[in-house]
Amino acid sequence: MKPRISVLTLGVTDLERSVIFYRDGLGLPTKGIAGKEFEHGAVAFFDLSGGLKLALWAQRDIAHDTGLPMQPVSPTAVTLGHNVASRQEVDEAMAAASRAGAEVIKSSKETFYGGYAGYFRDPDGHLWEIVWNPELLPPEE
């Protein structure tokens, strides 16, 4: 298998609420919800850097599609990392997430490796780390 992840899908309880959080609160670009005409097909895609897409799909629809039972979100099972180019961007992104309704889990602070980071949970409990790492800066766009 080639190391080529192109879509990262988050299961959400309320698709419209989550679209508002990610689009209006965090400013991620999207064309909105597609596939409403299909049972279990409504999904929203957000364009991320490097061609990666973030998809939001109702957790009940993921359960239906896979045949697996719904489970509660475990915020310590997976984290989503958003690397930024400065400490100031960490604080700005954390503030935007908080204004959008995210739960701040850990306020921005210095890290053990010389960086600066904070954590928040989206409305469905998915854990995001906003991080400035001087050894892992994002590519300039």
pLDDT at 141 over 70: no
Residue numbers of the domain that contains 35: 7-66
- Total domains in the chain come to 2
Mean of pLDDT values over 51-78? 95
Kindly report, residue by residue over 15-58, the tens digit of the pLDDT: 999 999 999 999 999 999 999 999 999 999 999 988 999 999 99
What is the pLDDT averaged over residues 70-76? 91
Q: The domain that contains 28 carries what CATH number?
A: 3.10.180.10
Q: Compute, in degrees rounded to 10, the torsion defined by CA atoms 62, 64, 69, 71.
A: 30
- Among 38, 66, 94, residue at a domain's last position: 66
| CB atoms inside a 10 Å sphere around CB 1 | 3
Residue 1 has what pLDDT? 84
Same domain, 19 and 47: yes
pLDDT per residue as tens digits for the range 82-133: 999 999 999 999 999 999 999 999 999 999 999 999 999 999 999 999 999 9
58: in domain: yes
Rounded (10°) CA dihedral 38, 42, 47, 50 = -70
pLDDT over 90 (residue 4):
no
- Contact criterion met (CB below 8 Å) for 85 and 138: yes
Q: Does 114 map to a domain? A: yes
Q: Could you tell me the pTM of the whole model?
A: 0.91
Residue 74 domain-assigned? no
**What is the reported pLDDT for 119?**
98
